[in-house]
Structure 1
Amino acid sequence: MVDQEIQEQLKRIFKGRFDLEFNSDALLDEHLLGRRIGLNSRDLLYLFFDIEETFKIHISQESIVTKKFTTFNNICQMIIEQKSCYTIGI
């Protein structure tokens, strides 16, 4: 799966689950719990499971603790890293 495809699929998850569109590149680095995006902790839980199911990955506790699950770009990068690990068999 190409990085652009991952990004588009992730955007579809946000649109479908939260009716949220990332029209501006500035939003891609905004904190998901912040004022501009405005998700709450329950929303992040739904997002967590949607991502695991859609991309067939496991999001580790370490990814949450190290704040990789805080912005669209961080999540996208985490998915790309996980998919590349699965592809090369790590």
Structure 2
Amino acid sequence: MTKNFRDTLNKELKNPEFKTEWDRLEPEFQIIKSVIDSRAELSMTQKDLSELTGIHQSEISKIENGCANPSFKTLERLASAFGKKLKISFEN
């Protein structure tokens, strides 16, 4: 993240409405980050992941860009491809 982005984000997070929406989107951001980071850890392309999971590369791209709402089964398939477990919880 560039310094300008971080500075702008920190400024915007002082706005209560922006902060509420940012916090609401945090779980989605975490999924996106987990997929991208896990794929990078394994030096895997989207195409590689697609071939391993049977999920179309275009769908993986949409997930990573925040333009898709992956199902639980899709998230399980991704986690399995990364050799990881999917963990979902309800928290206070």
Q: Is the TM value for this pair above 0.5?
A: no
Q: What TM-score results when the alignment is normalised by the length of structure 1?
A: 0.32
Higher alpha-carbon Rg: 2
Q: How high is the TM-score relative to the length of structure 2?
A: 0.31
